[in-house]
Amino acid sequence: LDPLLRIPNLNRLRELLAGATLEQTENTLAVLDIDNFSAINDTLGHDFGNAVLQAVARRLGEQLVHSRIARVGSDVFGVL
């Protein structure tokens, strides 16, 4: 579990991808990267950057209710 966003992390996503339940259905994996995120941290600070990440995770969860969302990098999300 990602401690900041309270969503699954890369290790959990790997477990889901290896899981038997995936073999029985068709799935798509999308990788979403926030462009120029380092500029947000550099200019507005890490607290603001964390708030952006939290907002993105929340909105992904609200819009993709039947998907699994994970944080797979500092500013990268996986959606299954």
pLDDT at 22: 57
pLDDT at 27: 79
Question: Tell me, what amino acid is at 40?
Answer: I
Alpha helices in 4-79 (DSSP H): 10-18, 37-44, 46-63
pLDDT by residue for the chain (80 residues), tens only, comes to 999 999 999 999 999 888 756 566 777 899 999 999 999 999 999 999 999 999 999 999 999 999 999 999 999 999 99
Look up the pTM and report it: 0.88
18: left (phi over 0), alpha (psi -120 to 50) or beta: alpha
Strand 30-33's sheet: what is its strand order?
Answer: 30-33, 76-79, 69-73
Asked if residues 6 and 12 have their Cβ atoms less than 8 Å apart, the reply is no
